[in-house]
Structure 1
Amino acid sequence: MTFIREAWRRLSFTSSNHARDKEIRQLKKVIKKTMKVQKRDVVGIVDIMFTVGTKETNTFSEKNDALRDQGESYYVRVKNDICSKERMLVVWIKLAADRQEFITDLVIGSTRPNHEHFFFGDKEGYHAIMHPQLRGMGAADPTLCLWCKKDGTKSRHICDLQITYTKVRCSLAGSMFCFALINIDSDSFSSQENQIELVRKNYEKLPLCLSKLGCAYANIWILWTTKDVMRLTDTTHIERELQDYSAMLRASPEDPMLIKMVETANRRLREAQIQEENHAKDIPHDDIVYVKQFLALSKHDMNKMKYTFKTSLDSDGDGKITVQDYVAFLSEPLSMAGFIRQIFALSSNQNLDSDNYLNANLMMDIGSTLKATAVFCMLSSSDLLKFVFACYDEDGYGTIDNNEFKQMLASFHPRHSDEHVARALKEFDLTVGGSMSFETFESLIKKLPHLLYPAFRVQEKMQKRFMGRRFWKRKLSLYEEAKRLVIEDEEQAKLAERRERKQREEYAADLRLSAIDRFVEKSKKKRRRRHKL
């Protein structure tokens, strides 16, 4: 009898391990797809460099093209050069998907200690980017230096850099870097129209003009983007922007600037739609299949989730529910309906406006409901914080203003009056017309965690009513383990790739040496023949 019990225990243990390994393998597939999408989306500047003069620029360009042809990381030339074609200053940027290497801060400074714009950022964690010919050794030589910082804790980073010209300087006096802008094509340097276009695309101009440092009358523009904050629908924000421009164009149909802005918005909308279609290829069209793959569910667990939907949510049996049904299912106040609509937006292509959350026309079927529930229940604490921030970042610019912050507090804490909200804003030194970044929002929530307690309460109730807290805790644990294994696999793949590249280089070196040896041997034979003759 004891032998039978021991055999049964071992068999059960083996079966349990087999099921666990199967779940981890399925979760690894999901994580790889997610990381594949993220790598396509999140790209940032990891390095900046200068080349001065035509000869140096052409030499570097040839080496850079060779690296690109070999599939290695390479630099991208910024569209507009600085200074003349005879003595040009070219800026190069390197883009990559390594989030820890993203440049998060950029400061323009002078290399001369006695200069009014001198900046020394070593103690603040900045790294200097300069060129030997930009050190200002001569009285009229330029003194340009860029200081960059890479802070992995920040959620935003620089993803693009542009150069615009403010005016043409025709004088030949002074530095050789300051003249001959007249040789540059007039379409390439900045007009007011180009600067407006950059502002419209959310580029930010660095405050210091390069003419202050002995260079041309040019400005550097940078584009910020976020690497952590979730985006619900990019096309939605562009569509709103297009609607605004179209309304302005109807009022002024002859305005060439508005015509161009509408055309640009249409182009950006098409690009965003194509990008979303490409992303959708990695996602199953059937929501039930998506949930089963995303959570690595067995047939029994999938049927259990369906049973919960049919018995506890779909009271009339038509296969569809409303936001009010889900709010009642969670026993939440009606003020949380707007937030729950945003949870539904995780699985819906509809434009869910939180101001109109009582719209009875919005119906969710079993697939969309289970998909939104699964995604939301699998959010970690940090991811949930980012999701809440993205919900109230209506413009999608990575900041929320005080009105949006008030809207969040009003939905989460309806019993608090405007006086309490104003007191909270005053306590944290938030101006009435100001806005806060994700970092400020995160630090505020750390000081007052109860502000977001309703969001965590919704997640806890979802987990409890669907499958139970123990189930989700186990899934999150398996997900973290699968993620760790995926990262280890990627590191092993990178290591193998480096080894293979090294072997190719060694093989190429051997070929070159053998070719040299053959050439030397032929030369020796020729000399011997001549000597005999």
Structure 2
Amino acid sequence: MGGAESVPAPDLRVKRAMAIAKMDMKDVGKFWKKFRKLDKEMRGNIDVEDFYEAIEEQRSIYGDGIFELLDITHAGSISFGEFLQSIIVMCLFEHEEVMKFCFYVFDKDKNGYVEKEELDTMLNVFHHVGNGEKLKGNPKKAHSTLKFAEGAKVEFDEVKAIAERFPSLWYPAFRIQNNTMIAYMGEKWWSKKKQHLQDVKDLKAKRKREKELEEDAKFERLRQRKIRKKMGMIKYYMCPWNRKAYDKMFPRRLKEQDHGLSAEELAELRRKAREEAKRLEEMMIKNPETAEWRNYLKSKERRYKVKVAKEKMEEEGAVAKSRPKTMASDRMARLERRREKHIQVKIQKKL
């Protein structure tokens, strides 16, 4: 495996990173080489400061947030598994995920919003502004336009809108990610990796959708079979408009994407559908079809057949047009012509 020959047996964190990025041991070996260069004393751990130095960034609570996100408890140094997992997760963040990560780091109470003071701290950390110092240049101008009341609670959507309006304020957050990609494997490698992962995701979504459509079709065939059995073959095919009456007894397949309901709401809806189906079944048992009702249905079906046959004949032009009525004088004239013709035939026979 080339450079991967000296790679130690993957621990749980390495396996997780491999699963996230769909990597093999050959790729892990390349990261191992980078790690060994930083692990100069061959301890199996590297100092966090060396980790930051490799990506040419100053250590900050924002950068350390990746360790908090991955439950990495370190005492100033990290193992190869922690090193690999941190890089993989940080570099695979999409644009909005970087924003969410920022929000996660500075939302100290994890209550879904940041206060004005926490937002100011976020920007100071991004731009390495120390105590008693202030933002400079474009970030300072952009920050001056932000008007929040003291104690205001800023939610993620508002922070996202600010970042889109003033990209210079949030540029350092994306710079850390970009520098990490450059230091490890290169931007081109990460671009291909993201595209590959997206293709895999799209393929899974496509297969899932195809499976759902297949299950929907199968469920509908079974449902129609039950309705056909309940209605009877003749009634099912000759009176298709009556099938809707059985939708409550045999409810259609429910889909979360069609209804936009939560799991609890869907469960409640299915429970009500089952209760309604049970109620209709009990009514059918208590009130069975009588002979008179069956005779009525048969006569209705016969009338329907006659109607359909007549319409079909009219469409094909098979129904003869009614003849126009003739006057009495016309009928007498035809009768006289027939008599004259008959007398002429008799005369000719005698001659």
TM-score (normalizing by structure 1) = 0.39
Is the CA contact (8 Å cut-off) linking 2:16 and 2:85 kept in structure 1?
Answer: yes
For 2:28, give the aligned amino acid.
Answer: M
Q: Which amino acid aligns with 1:474?
A: K
- Residue of structure 2 in register with 1:464 after alignment: 182
Percent identity between the two aligned chains: 22
Choose the corresponding residue for 1:319, options 33, 44, 52: 44
Partner of 2:53: 328
User: Partner amino acid for 2:65?
Assistant: Q
Q: What is the aligned counterpart of 1:404 among 82, 105, 118?
A: 118
Q: Report the secondary structure of 1:315's partner residue.
A: coil
Match of 1:338 among 61, 72, 75: 61
Of the three residues 102, 109, 116, the one matched with 1:395 is 109
For residue 159 of structure 2, what is the amino acid of its counterpart?
F
CA distance in 2, matches of 1:316, 1:349: 22
Which structure 2 residues correspond to residues 241-260 of structure 1 after superposition, within 5 A? none
Q: Which of the numbers 307, 312, 319 marks the counterpart of 2:33?
A: 307
- Counterpart of 1:287 in structure 2 is 13
Mapped contact 1:288–1:371 kept (Cα < 8 A): yes
1:344 partner letter: F
State the Cα distance separating 1:473 from its structure 2 match: 0.6
Q: Which runs of 5+ in 2 are unaligned?
A: 1-9, 236-284, 296-351
Cα 1:521–1:330 change in 2 (3 A) is: closer
CA distance in 1, matches of 2:157, 2:167: 15
8 Å CA contact retained: 1:323, 1:341: no
Measured in 2, the distance between the counterparts of 1:485 and 1:365 equals 34
Q: Which residue of 1 aligns with 2:210?
A: 492
* Equivalent position of 2:299 in the other structure: none
1:83 matched to which residue of 2? Answer: none
8 A Cα contact 2:142 2:166, kept in partner: no
Q: Which residue of 1 aligns with 2:255?
A: none
Q: Is the 8 A contact 2:114 2:154 kept in 1?
A: yes
1:323–1:340 CA contact under 8 A, matched in 2: no
Q: How does 1:516-527 map to 2 (within 5 A)?
A: none
Aligned counterpart, 1:347? 70
In the TM superposition, residue 325 of structure 1 has moved relative to its aligned partner by 2.0
Report the Cα distance in structure 2 between the residues aligned to 1:364 and 1:424, rounded to whole angstroms.
Answer: 37
Equivalent AA in structure 2 for residue 348 of structure 1 = D
TM-aligned CA distance change 1:346 to 1:433, over 3 Å: closer
Distance in 1 between residues matched to 2:225 and 2:47, nearest whole Å: 66
> Is 1:373 the counterpart of 2:87 in the alignment?
yes
Distance across 2 between alignment mates of 1:477 and 1:423: 37
Contact 2:55–2:176 (Cα < 8 Å) also in 1? yes
CA RMSD of aligned residues (A): 3.0
| Cα shift readout 1:388-430 (whole Å, capped 9, x = no counterpart) | 1111111222211111112111211124734768975552221
Q: Which residue of 1 aligns with 2:23?
A: 297
- The structural deviation recorded for 1:308 is 0.7
Compare CA radii of gyration and give the structure with the larger one. Answer: 2
Q: Is the 8 A contact 1:463 1:472 kept in 2?
A: yes
Whole-angstrom CA distance in 2 between matches of 1:301 and 1:425: 42
SS in 2 for 1:397: coil
Question: Helix, strand or coil: the match of 2:109?
Answer: coil
Return the structure number with greater strand share. 1
Please state if 1:448 is matched with 2:202. Answer: no
CA 1:375–1:419 in 2, change beyond 3 Å: closer, same or farther?
closer
- Distance, in Å, in 2 between the alignment partners of 1:390 and 1:431 is 22
Shift of 1:522: 11
Alpha-carbon separation, structure 1, partners of 2:135 and 2:43: 44
Q: How far 1:523 sits from its partner (Å)?
A: 5.8
Matched position secondary structure for 2:100: helix
Matching residue of 1:501: 219
Distance in 2 (alpha carbons) for counterparts of 1:332 and 1:522: 86
Q: Distance in 1 between matches of 2:171 and 2:233?
A: 72
* Structure 1 SS opposite 2:69: coil
Q: Pick from 218, 221, 230: which aligns with 1:512?
A: 230
5 Å-filtered alignment, 1:134-153, equals none
State the distance in 2 between where 1:435 and 1:450 align: 22
**Equivalent of residue 436 in structure 1, options 143, 149, 154:** 154
Tell me how far apart the structure 2 counterparts of residues 362 and 497 of structure 1 sit (CA, whole Å).
53
| Alpha-carbon displacement from aligned partner over 1:202-243 (angstroms, at most 9, x marks no partner) | xxxxxxxxxxxxxxxxxxxxxxxxxxxxxxxxxxxxxxxxxx
Partner of residue 361, structure 1: 75
CA–CA distance in structure 2, aligned partners of residues 426 and 370 of structure 1: 39
Residue 248 of structure 2 corresponds to which residue in structure 1?
none
After TM superposition, give the deviation of residue 363 of structure 1 in Å: 3.0
Alpha-carbon offset, residue 302 of structure 1: 1.3
Q: Which amino acid aligns with 2:67?
A: F
Please list, as runs of the form range in 1=range in 2, the aligned pairs for 1:472-491 lying within 5 A after superposition: 472-491=190-209
User: Secondary structure in 2 aligned to 1:345?
Assistant: helix
Q: Deviations over 1:336-355 (max 9, x none)?
A: x21121112233254xxxxx
With the length of structure 2 as denominator, give the TM-score of the two structures: 0.59
| Contact kept? 2:113, 2:155, Cα under 8 Å | yes
In structure 2, how many angstroms separate the alpha carbons of the residues matched to 1:451 and 1:305? 32
Q: Which structure has the highest helix share of the two?
A: 2
